[in-house]
Amino acid sequence: MHENLIPIRQAVIARNPGESEFHQAVDEVFESLGPVVARHPDLLESAILERICEPERQIIFRVPWTDDNGQVHINRGFRVEFNSALGPYKGGLRFHPSVYLGIVKFLGFEQIFKNSLTGMPIGGGKGGSDFDPSGRSDAEIMRFCQSFMTELYRHIGEYTDVPAGDIGVGGREIGYLFGQYKRITNRYESGVLTGKGLAWGGSLVRTEATGYGTVMFAEEMLKTRGQDMDGREIIVSGSGNVAIYAVERAQSLGAKVLTASDSSGYVMDPDGIDLDLLKQVKEVERARISQYAERKGGRARFISDGSVWDVPGSVALPCATQNELNGRQAKKLLANGVEVVAEGANMPTTAEAIRLFQDADVLFAPGKAANAGGVATSALEMQQNASRDSWTFDYTQQRLQEIMRGIHHRCAETADEYGMPGNYVAGANITGFIKVARAMSAQGLI
Ligand code: GLU
């Protein structure tokens, strides 16, 4: 790390004790900014980095709700409005028992640079709750979402802060959240949330966008080496929204996806993941991944120990959660001949694993570039809402494709410009940072 950045980093750690995921996300960006310090010292004046690392606003609130037996539960709700230099705060809500301020801040911090990279006019924010949705009935989920929105509504708005989904928050939850927002405010404010249903202001392709976009980014990286996805064996982790649509896109390009996983273990299917069955088990029934192997039969197997990273393949797409791919697992993937790693999840690869991939000349795409298709399509949803229009699937997918190509191009170009060809981590961090820093400087001491 550049010596001028070390004291700033230390101050961030001291000011945010115990928030290890946030520290990790800050370190990743700071590690990339050395050449910027050298080339554009003006950009770092007026404590720009210190300001970027301090959220504009952090909201923490109580979420009381009753389960189906009438028992009262209390959860904690969060919304971190990190940076509004480029547009209204934008970023998802995560409902998962691991959520605490440090997770929301790492996600919000990443979101600033990711959103900047998309080229769309959106700032960075993130929120969520330590609520555990697993095993909860629809009615319990609805009551939780209503209670959560009963506090959140006063902080958000189409020009202020626009939440969407993340882990544990999909179309069903966005529906309950939108209904409660509309009820409290008496406004049909479509642009206040994204990821809405198609009949009520949602955008075609939003559901598919993160997974499709991740594979589009991998395709762009492969193109730089004159290669493509056809005939490749792909290792996917996760089985949520991102993983499912990464599988769909990879298979449509002639690749064979061998794996999918959840917190109970993973499935390995040498005949290629049966997408309809995966969707039925995970999207419709919200069941355990072992159900996939049980129903598929044949050569499909459920494995409860080890991880998908034990399975050989030339492309790895971590689409589950943060820090799911560590140094030991990276070594295993490298020994098995991995050539491409693209992050569908946010920060799934540890710093050590990233270094190992880069040293081995693997094409490595950080989440803030590779998974930006989700939030970019949210911005397209906001555009449609603002113009009271709805676009076709083909047109929206074409826009997504252009956006992903644009992100790839900007990352690659910046990496070249700063003398680190092929380093998409540096390319993404530097490109994302410079735009936000310039906007903040232009707007005065904010
Ligand atoms: N949670 C997603 C992300 O990490 C999407 C956010 C959004 O659509 O606002 O980018």
Beta bridge partners of 267: 260, 302
Task: Compute the distance between CA of residue 437 and CA of residue 69 in angstroms, rounded to an integer.
Answer: 51
Does 378 contact ligand 1 (Cβ within 6 A)?
yes
Task: Tell me which residue has tokens 């020009």.
Answer: 159
285, 206 Cβ separation under 8 angstroms: no
For the segment 424-442, what is each residue's pLDDT rounded down to a tens digit? Answer: 999 999 999 999 999 999 9
Which ligand 1 atom sits closest to the C-alpha of 371? 10
Strands 363-365 and 259-262, bridge-based pairing: unpaired
Q: Supply the pLDDT for residue 275.
A: 98
Residue 348 CB: number of other CB atoms within 10 A?
24
Alpha helix positions (H), 323-446: 327-335, 351-359, 367-370, 372-386, 393-417, 424-442
Q: CA 137, 101, 330, 344 torsion: positive or negative?
A: positive
For the segment 314-344, what is each residue's pLDDT rounded down to a tens digit? Answer: 999 999 999 999 999 999 999 999 999 999 9
Q: If we measure between CA atoms, which residue out of 161, 26, 114, 119 comes closest to residue 345?
A: 114
Does 21 contact ligand 1 (Cβ within 6 A)?
no
Tokens of 82: 């990190």
Q: For domain 209-361, which architecture applies?
A: 3-Layer(aba) Sandwich (3.40)
Q: Supply the pLDDT for residue 44.
A: 86
Residue nearest to atom 5 of ligand 1 (CA): 375
258, 243 Cβ separation under 8 angstroms: no
For the segment 234-247, what is each residue's pLDDT rounded down to a tens digit? Answer: 999 999 999 999 99
Instruction: Give 79-91 as a DSSP string.
Output: EEEEE-SSSSEEE
Residue 247 CB: number of other CB atoms within 10 A?
28
Task: Compute the distance between CA of residue 396 and CA of residue 406 in angstroms, rounded to an integer.
Answer: 15
What's the pTM value of the predicted model, to 2 decimals?
0.98
141, 67 Cβ separation under 8 angstroms: no
Helices (H) and strands (E) in the chain, counts: 17, 13
Task: Compute the distance between CA of residue 345 and CA of residue 356 in angstroms, rounded to an integer.
Answer: 19
- Pocket mutation for ligand 1, best pick of 378, 383, 396 (most atoms within 8 Å of C-beta): 378
Does 133 contact ligand 1 (Cβ within 6 A)?
no
Does 128 contact ligand 1 (Cβ within 6 A)?
no
Which ligand 1 atom sits closest to the C-alpha of 91? 9
Does 92 contact ligand 1 (Cβ within 6 A)?
yes
Answer yes or no: is pLDDT of 97 > 90: yes
- Pocket mutation for ligand 1, best pick of 89, 210, 383 (most atoms within 8 Å of C-beta): 210
User: How many angstroms separate the alpha carbon of residue 166 from the centre of ligand 1?
Assistant: 6
User: How many angstroms separate the alpha carbon of residue 38 from the centre of ligand 1?
Assistant: 32
Task: Compute the distance between CA of residue 298 and CA of residue 378 in angstroms, rounded to an integer.
Answer: 39
Residue nearest to atom 9 of ligand 1 (CA): 91
Question: Domain 6-188 in CATH: superfamily?
Answer: Leucine Dehydrogenase, chain A, domain 1 (3.40.50.10860)
Does 207 contact ligand 1 (Cβ within 6 A)?
no
Q: What is the mean pLDDT of residues 72-84?
A: 98
Does 374 contact ligand 1 (Cβ within 6 A)?
yes
- Pocket mutation for ligand 1, best pick of 96, 120, 166, 371 (most atoms within 8 Å of C-beta): 166
Average pLDDT, the chain: 98
CA angle at 110 for the pair 2 and 156, rounded to the nearest 5°: 140
User: How far apart, in Å, are the Cα atoms of 209 and each of 91, 101, 213, 393, 446?
Assistant: 14, 27, 6, 11, 33
Which ligand 1 atom sits closest to the C-alpha of 372? 10
Does 156 contact ligand 1 (Cβ within 6 A)?
no
Does 164 contact ligand 1 (Cβ within 6 A)?
yes
Q: Which helix (H) or strand (E) holds 102?
A: helix 101-118
CA angle at 229 for the pair 399 and 107, rounded to the nearest 5°: 55
Residue 122 DSSP class: -
Q: Supply the pLDDT for residue 229.
A: 98
Please tell me if the domain spanning 6-188 has the same topology as the one spanning 209-361. yes
Does 432 contact ligand 1 (Cβ within 6 A)?
no
Residues 6+ apart with CB under 8 A from 387: none
**C-alpha 412: how far from chain center:** 20
Q: If we measure between CA atoms, which residue out of 10, 47, 48, 49 comes closest to residue 29?
A: 49
Q: If we measure between CA atoms, which residue out of 1, 336, 43, 400 comes closest to residue 203?
A: 400
Which ligand 1 atom sits closest to the C-alpha of 206? 8
Worst-scoring range by mean pLDDT, 41-45, 165-169, 347-351, 420-424? Answer: 41-45
Residue nearest to atom 10 of ligand 1 (CA): 375
290, 267 Cβ separation under 8 angstroms: yes
Length of the chain, in residues: 446
Answer yes or no: is pLDDT of 88 > 90: yes
Known catalytic membership, residue 126: yes
For the segment 7-37, what is each residue's pLDDT rounded down to a tens digit? Answer: 999 999 999 999 999 999 999 999 999 999 9
Supply φ then ψ for residue 237, to 5 degrees: -105, 155
Supply φ then ψ for residue 167, to 5 degrees: -55, 130
Please pick, among 126, 282, 296, 368, the residue that the annotation labels catalytic: 126
- Region class of 111: left (phi > 0), else alpha (psi between -120 and 50), else beta: alpha
User: How many angstroms separate the alpha carbon of residue 101 from the centre of ligand 1?
Assistant: 17
**Model confidence at 45, in pLDDT bands (50, 70, 90)?**
confident
287, 302 Cβ separation under 8 angstroms: no
Identity of the residue numbered 339: E
Identity of the residue numbered 183: R
Answer yes or no: is pLDDT of 167 > 90: yes
Identity of the residue numbered 416: D
Which ligand 1 atom sits closest to the C-alpha of 94? 1
Task: Compute the distance between CA of residue 245 and CA of residue 377 in angstroms, rounded to an integer.
Answer: 14
Delimit the domains of the chain by residue range.
6-188, 209-361
Tokens of 130: 């330590």
For the segment 266-303, what is each residue's pLDDT rounded down to a tens digit? Answer: 999 999 999 999 999 999 999 999 999 999 999 999 99
Residue 263 DSSP class: T
User: How many angstroms separate the alpha carbon of residue 255 from the centre of ligand 1?
Assistant: 26
Does 329 contact ligand 1 (Cβ within 6 A)?
no
Q: Supply the pLDDT for residue 344.
A: 98
Task: Compute the distance between CA of residue 96 and CA of residue 74 in angstroms, rounded to an integer.
Answer: 14
